[in-house]
């Protein structure tokens, strides 16, 4: 896709889908997801802003299936109220951008999946943006990170939970955009 077209589509997602990723973060996520050859896993979809980015990138790239994991529990984080009402909007986003073939919506908590069985060949890209407290981020990182063969990206990496995880596990930040970090061990 032409550079200009990607820009137009990402801006359309920003306009149409409520979320907290900015353009630069979305572009960085897009540029990495387009390279994935194994399944892409997103933890935390909300109303689907990042989900749409991952789906569109994968369609333009290697057509790796995107697993978007979110059970939409009711809670508040960073001043935002999350809950079941977001599920309908997530599904609408996926349909609006014609991504239903490439995106698998997984309505189960991230910690409830048998990841080794589901992703037996490994994960091509892991995007962690669920709950941001240390315990939750660590649980997601340990469970999924072990089978990632490509990138691991953290949103809100300057927040306490992800920041502590990155430090304590000795992850190297190799690229950032806004509050999105791509890491390596
Ligand atoms: C910050 S939002 C995600 C934002 C989204 N990535 C975007 O681009 O707009 C966090 C989401 O994580 C979900 N979540 C929280 N804990 C989770 C868990 N253990 N497994 C899956 N999803 C979870 C919440 O329901 C919420 O929708």
Given a contact cutoff of 8 angstroms between Cβ atoms, the answer to whether 63 and 102 are in contact is yes
Q: Which atom of ligand 1 is nearest to the CA of 17?
A: 9
Q: For residue 45, how far is its CA from the centre of ligand 1 (angstroms)?
A: 5
Rounded to two decimals, the pTM is 0.97
Which pLDDT does position 79 carry in this prediction?
87
Q: For residue 81, how far is its CA from the centre of ligand 1 (angstroms)?
A: 11
CATH of the domain at 15: 3.40.50.150
What is d(CA 156, CA 113) in angstroms, rounded to the nearest whole number?
A: 24
Q: Which residues does ligand 1 sit against, CB inside 6 Å?
A: 19-21, 43-46, 49-50, 69-73, 82, 86, 109-111, 129-131
Q: Considering its fold, how many domains does the chain have in total?
A: 1
Which pLDDT does position 1 carry in this prediction?
64
pLDDT (tens digit, 9 = 90+) per residue, 167-184? Answer: 999 999 999 999 999 998
Residue with tokens 């995106």: 103
Which segments of the chain have a pLDDT < 70? 1-3
Domain containing 67: what range? 3-184
Q: For residue 1, how far is its CA from the centre of ligand 1 (angstroms)?
A: 29
Q: Which atom of ligand 1 is nearest to the CA of 139?
A: 19
């Amino acid at each position: 896709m032409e550079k200009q077209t990607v820009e137009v589509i990402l801006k359309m997602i920003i306009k149409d889908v409520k979320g907290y990723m900015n353009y630069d973060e979305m572009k960085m996520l897009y540029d990495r997801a387009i390279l994935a050859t194994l399944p892409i896993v997103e933890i935390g979809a909300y109303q689907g802003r990042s989900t749409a980015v991952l789906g569109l990138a994968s369609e333009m790239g290697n057509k790796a299936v995107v697993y978007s994991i979110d059970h939409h529990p009711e809670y508040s984080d960073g001043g935002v109220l999350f809950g079941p009402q977001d599920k309908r909007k997530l599904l609408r986003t996926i349909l609006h951008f014609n991504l239903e073939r490439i995106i698998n919506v997984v309505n189960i908590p991230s910690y409830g999946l048998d990841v080794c069985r589901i992703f037996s060949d490994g994960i091509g890209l892991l995007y962690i943006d669920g709950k941001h407290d240390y315990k939750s981020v660590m649980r997601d990182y340990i469970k999924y990170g072990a089978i990632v063969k490509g990138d691991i990206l953290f949103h809100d990496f300057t927040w306490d939970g992800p920041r502590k995880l990155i430090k304590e596990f000795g992850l190297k930040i190799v690229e950032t955009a806004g509050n999105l970090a791509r890491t390596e061990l």
